[in-house]
C-alpha cells in the first residue's frame, strides 16, 4: 500500500520551529469550530483563537477556510488510522475492533455536521480542475488507502473470510460515509438527523452480520447490470 501523503501544511513542517505541532493544534481547533459554528458561521479568526495561534501563522499554513476544512478531514482519517493500527498491533483485532473503528468514523462525521454542506459542495467539484479540487481528489485517494490498510490490520487473521476484498470494502465504507454526509447536509431538524443516525446503525448491523462470510463475493460484471429507474 502506498505511504500516506505528506503533512497538509502549505510549507514543510520543519520550516518553522514547532510548525508540526502548530498545524495539528490548528486542525483540531478547526474541527471543533466547524462542528459548533458550521462552515458558514466559522471564521479563520475564531479558529486561530481556538488554536492559540496568530492569524498570520494560521494563514501561513492554510491559505483559505476551504483548504482548512478539507485538511481537517484528512487529519481525522490519519488519526483514526493511527489509533486503530496501534490497537491492531497490540492484538485488538477482529469484528469488535472493526465496529469500534466504524463508530469512531461516524462520530467524526457527526462532529463535522456543521461543515457538511460545504463538504458536499467540494465533493461535487472534485471532478473539475483547480488546486482545491485536487486536494479533494487526494483526500479520496488517501482516505481509501488508509481504510484499506486498517481493514487488513484489523482482519489480519480472517482475510479469507471477508465478504469482499479489503480494497473493495474500503471503497464501500468511504462511499457510505460520503452518502451519510450528503444526508446530514440536508438535515434541518433533530428528527432529520436522527434518521441519518438510524441509517448508519442499519449499515452497522448489516456490516456486523455479513462482513465475514467464509468466502469473498464475486464482483458483478458492470455490462450485465441493467438500468434501474431512480426516484429523482
Residues 172 and 111 in one domain: yes
Residues 54 and 116 in one domain: no
Calpha distance 200→223 (Å, rounded): 30
Q: Does residue 10 carry a pLDDT above 60?
A: no
Share of the chain above pLDDT 70, in %: 78
Residues 105 and 40 in one domain: no
Identify the band that residue 219 occupies on the pLDDT scale cut at 50, 70 and 90. Answer: low
Calpha distance 194→202 (Å, rounded): 12
Residues 102 and 162 in one domain: yes
Number of domains composing the chain: 2
Residues 177 and 71 in one domain: yes
Residues 76 and 169 in one domain: yes
pLDDT, tens digit, for every residue of 108-150? 888 767 667 767 766 666 666 677 777 778 888 898 999 999 9
Residues 94 and 166 in one domain: yes
Asked if the structure places residue 226 within a domain, the reply is no
Say how many C-beta atoms besides its own lie within 10 A of residue 174's C-beta. Answer: 19
Residue with the larger pLDDT of the pair 180 and 13: 180
Residues 32 and 136 in one domain: no
How many Cα atoms are found within 13 Å in the side-chain-facing hemisphere of 34?
Answer: 28
Average pLDDT over residues 212-220: 64
Residue indicated by cell numbers 485538511:
71
CATH of residue 149's domain is 1.10.357
Say how many C-beta atoms besides its own lie within 10 A of residue 78's C-beta. Answer: 18
Q: Is the pTM of this model over 0.75?
A: no
Residues 57 and 108 in one domain: no
Asked if the structure places residue 57 within a domain, the reply is yes
Do 153 and 93 touch, CB atoms closer than 8 A?
yes
Structural domain of residue 49, as residue ranges?
Answer: 15-62
Residues 110 and 120 in one domain: yes
pLDDT, tens digit, for every residue of 145-176? 999 999 999 999 999 999 999 999 999 998 88
In this predicted structure, what is the pLDDT of residue 163?
A: 92
Question: Which candidate, 145, 125, 166, places its Cα nearest to that of 77?
Answer: 145
CATH of residue 50's domain is 1.10.10.60
User: Mean pLDDT in the chain?
Assistant: 81
Calpha distance 162→212 (Å, rounded): 5
Element housing 29 (H / E): helix 19-41
Residues 24 and 88 in one domain: no
In this predicted structure, what is the pLDDT of residue 125?
A: 60
Q: Does residue 180 carry a pLDDT above 70?
A: yes
Identify the band that residue 212 occupies on the pLDDT scale cut at 50, 70 and 90. Answer: very high
In this predicted structure, what is the pLDDT of residue 3?
A: 42
From residue 6, alpha-carbon distances to 74, 131, 163, 188 in Å are: 11, 16, 32, 37
Asked if the structure places residue 220 within a domain, the reply is no
Cα of first residue to Cα of last residue in the chain, in angstroms, is 38
Asked if the structure places residue 177 within a domain, the reply is yes
Residues 99 and 188 in one domain: yes
Asked if the structure places residue 43 within a domain, the reply is yes
Amino acid at each position: 500500500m502506498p505511504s500516506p501523503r505528506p503533512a497538509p501544511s502549505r510549507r514543510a513542517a520543519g520550516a518553522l520551529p514547532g510548525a508540526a505541532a502548530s498545524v495539528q493544534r490548528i486542525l483540531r481547533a478547526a474541527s471543533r469550530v466547524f462542528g459548533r459554528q458550521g462552515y458558514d458561521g466559522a471564521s479563520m479568526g475564531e479558529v486561530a483563537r481556538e488554536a492559540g495561534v496568530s492569524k498570520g501563522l494560521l494563514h501561513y499554513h492554510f491559505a483559505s477556510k476551504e483548504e482548512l476544512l478539507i485538511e481537517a478531514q484528512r487529519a481525522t482519517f490519519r488519526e483514526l488510522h493511527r489509533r486503530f493500527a496501534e490497537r491492531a498491533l497490540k492484538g485488538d483485532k477482529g469484528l469488535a475492533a472493526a465496529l469500534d473503528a466504524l463508530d469512531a468514523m461516524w462520530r467524526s462525521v457527526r462532529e463535522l455536521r456543521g461543515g457538511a454542506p460545504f463538504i458536499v459542495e467540494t465533493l461535487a467539484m472534485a471532478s473539475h480542475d483547480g488546486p482545491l479540487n485536487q486536494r479533494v481528489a487526494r483526500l479520496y485517494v488517501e482516505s481509501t488507502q488508509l481504510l484499506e490498510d486498517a481493514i487488513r490490520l484489523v482482519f489480519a487473521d480472517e482475510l479469507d473470510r471477508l465478504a469482499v476484498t479489503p480494497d473493495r470494502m474500503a471503497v464501500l465504507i468511504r462511499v457510505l460515509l460520503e452518502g451519510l454526509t450528503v444526508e446530514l447536509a440536508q438535515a434541518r431538524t433533530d428528527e432529520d438527523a436522527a434518521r441519518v443516525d438510524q441509517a448508519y446503525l442499519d449499515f452497522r448491523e448489516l456490516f456486523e452480520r455479513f462482513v465475514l462470510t467464509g468466502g469473498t463475493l464475486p464482483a458483478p460484471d458492470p455490462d450485465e447490470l441493467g438500468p434501474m429507474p431512480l426516484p429523482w
